[in-house]
Amino acid sequence: MLLIVIAAALGLLAGGFPGLVIGAALGYWISRSLRHTVLGGLQVVQSQLLDSTFSELTGEIRRCARERPPERCSRSNIASTTLI
């Protein structure tokens, strides 16, 4: 919203009412593009964080199943080894 107001004010100063309309349209387009770029980057980071978290947990579960008897591979044992 702030970019729309700033661009509209600059357009009004530069070209009167048509400049106001064109400036508001450009401000809307710029703010929408920035929002899409920033949110897209955050989604990539969030996806990578989840992938690394679950791959680490899966590795601990496999290691536990390979090295310990089944009765010692409880959720609490796996959780305590991943936090250390």
CA atoms within 13 A on the CB side of 67: 8
Domain positions in the chain = 2-83
Distance CA 24, CA 80 (A): 55
Convert the pLDDT of each residue in 15-70 to its tens digit: 888 888 899 999 999 888 888 887 777 777 878 787 777 777 777 777 776 776 65
Q: Model-level pTM? A: 0.49
**Chain centroid offset of residue 76 CA:** 30
CA–CA distance, 71 with 55 (Å, rounded to integer): 23
